[in-house]
């Protein structure tokens, strides 16, 4: 049995070295979570999935573990060595069996809302995600789960809803419920907007989609017009702030609601604390945070991303590994939010976000 204090010291040292190299804050707990994931799978992308840490941190921790002779690489997989088992014997594997297989951890019965089959058929013809706009869509189950959660929280019936960026086709799913008063979808990608409007027309849905570059100020008439927003903002701090402020700028006020997809793969908890401050200082409170809620289908351009480049082994990414957290917010005091122009051309990249 390894001395527990020695193991903790080793975690601290690895965290310190990983932080120095990545320039991202890393705690011993972060390293512990990565080690737990390494005990569970040899596939790099599943280690990211199980540990829920930014990719540069996972990649560097794995490099350091290899350098110290704890693990080795074999056929683009990570193999643990005896020294690893001894040193970190107190850290258990990630126990995915604890996640409810029925709801996949979301706490939602996606069949109850009654649009599952129809949405599933519609989405088969959706445009493919492209790298230019950092697209990557969540599974149809995840889209239905999101709309079901909105229904559960009383955020759909007779509500005016704006979707800011919609490669997940949330607007279509919302309109299929026939509950909202109004659904407006904005997205920079004309392919998505044309697809959404074609579906709306052929199915007679109350849904309007418009091509819009969300870096630009929104039309004046959107100010204080909506009850609910839905967005999956880029997570570079400035871009996140601009997207959230604009989304809140569209809300009527106290009692209005927002649904935000946030990851722990493109953002550390330290960045999250900054991102959460942006939400709270705009007059909102966070009412729900559900991990692993949005499960992403793998995108074709993965091998052209920084994430792929820095991966220490090129494990196949052939099962779902990129997931995001569903965050629900509600406005509790007079919102403070601007509708500003974002000048930066590249809104997706910072030290932690690498999947673009
Ligand atoms: N790069 C592919 C997928 C990107 C999805 N980003 C989700 C961001 C949520 N805030």
Residues 128-139 have pLDDT tens digits of 999 999 999 999
In residues, how long is the chain?
356
Mutational pocket test of ligand 1: of 45, 52, 132, 136, the residue with most ligand atoms within 8 Å of the beta carbon:
136
Atom of ligand 1 lying closest to residue 240 CA: 10
Residue carrying structure tokens 């601290």? 12
Residue 342 in contact with residue 240, Cβ under 8 Å?
no
Residue closest via CA to ligand 1's atom 7 equals 232
Task: Write down the pTM of the prediction.
Answer: 0.96
Pair of tokens at residue 61? 């921790």
The pLDDT value given to residue 344: 73
CB within 8 Å of 142: residues ≥ 6 apart: 168, 293, 294, 295, 296
- The model's pLDDT over 181-206, given as tens digits with 9 standing for 90+, comes to 999 999 999 999 999 999 999 999 99
- The CA–CA distances, whole Å, from 264 to 49, 105, 154, 202, 261 equal 9, 16, 27, 38, 10
- CA-nearest residue for atom 3, ligand 1, is 136
CB 39 within 8 A of CB 93: yes
The ranges of the chain annotated as CATH 1.10.10.10 are 2-91
Question: Could you tell me if 253 and 224 are in contact, meaning their C-beta atoms sit under 8 angstroms apart?
Answer: yes
Residue range(s) in the chain whose domain bears CATH number 3.40.50.150: 110-331
Looking at per-residue pLDDT, the higher value among 318 and 203 belongs to 203
Span 5-24, pLDDT tens digits: 999 999 999 999 999 999 99
Model pLDDT for residues 217-276, shown as the tens digit of each residue: 999 999 999 999 999 999 999 999 999 999 999 999 999 999 999 999 999 999 999 999
Separation of CA 67 and ligand 1 centre (Å): 31
pLDDT of 336 strictly over 70: yes
- The predicted pLDDT at position 345 comes to 67
User: Domain 2-91 carries which CATH code?
Assistant: 1.10.10.10
Counting ligand 1 atoms within 8 A of each CB, the residue from 128, 276, 324, 353 with the most, and so the one to mutate, is 324
Tell how far the Cα of 80 is from the centroid of ligand 1, in angstroms. Answer: 31
What is the second-level CATH architecture of the domain 110-331? 3-Layer(aba) Sandwich (3.40)
Contact residues of ligand 1, CB 6 A cut-off = 134, 136, 232-233, 235, 261-263, 296, 299, 324, 355-356
| 207: Cβ contacts below 8 Å, ≥ 6 apart | 171, 172, 174, 175, 183, 185, 196, 197, 199, 200
DSSP helix/strand/coil, 194: helix
């Amino acid at each position: 049995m390894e001395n527990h204090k020695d193991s903790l010291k080793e975690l601290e040292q690895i965290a310190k070295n990983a932080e120095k190299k990545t320039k991202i804050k890393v705690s011993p707990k972060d390293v512990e979570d990565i080690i737990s994931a390494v005990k569970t799978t040899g596939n790099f992308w599943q280690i990211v999935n199980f540990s829920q840490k930014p990719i540069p941190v996972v990649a560097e921790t794995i490099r350091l573990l290899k350098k110290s002779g704890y693990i080795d690489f074999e056929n683009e997989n990570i193999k643990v060595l005896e020294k690893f088992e001894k040193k970190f014997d107190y850290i258990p594997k990630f126990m995915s069996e604890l996640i409810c297989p029925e709801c996949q951890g979301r706490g939602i019965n996606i069949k109850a809302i009654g649009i599952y089959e129809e949405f599933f058929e519609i989405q088969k013809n959706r445009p493919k995600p492209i790298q230019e706009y950092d697209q990557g869509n969540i599974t149809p189950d995840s889209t239905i789960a999101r709309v079901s959660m909105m229904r559960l929280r009383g955020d759909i019936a007779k509500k005016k809803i704006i979707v800011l960026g919609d490669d997940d086709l949330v607007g279509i799913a919302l309109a299929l419920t026939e509950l909202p008063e109004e659904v407006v979808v904005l997205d920079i990608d004309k392919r998505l907007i044309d697809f959404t409007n074609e579906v709306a027309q052929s199915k007679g849905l109350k849904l309007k989609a418009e091509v819009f570059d969300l870096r630009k100020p929104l039309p004046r008439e959107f100010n204080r017009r909506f009850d609910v927003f839905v967005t999956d903002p880029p997570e570079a701090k400035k871009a996140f702030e601009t997207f959230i402020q604009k989304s809140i700028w569209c809300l009527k006020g106290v009692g209005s609601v927002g649904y935000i997809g946030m990851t722990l793969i493109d953002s550390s908890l330290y960045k999250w604390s900054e991102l959460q401050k942006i939400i709270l200082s705009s007059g909102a409170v966070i009412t729900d945070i559900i991990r692993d809620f949005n499960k992403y289908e793998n995108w074709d351009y993965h091998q052209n991303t920084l994430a792929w480049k820095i991966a220490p082994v090129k494990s196949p990414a052939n099962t779902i590994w990129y997931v995001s957290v569903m965050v629900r917010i509600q406005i509790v005091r007079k919102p403070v939010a601007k509708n500003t122009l974002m000048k930066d051309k590249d809104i997706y990249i910072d030290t932690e976000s690498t999947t673009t």
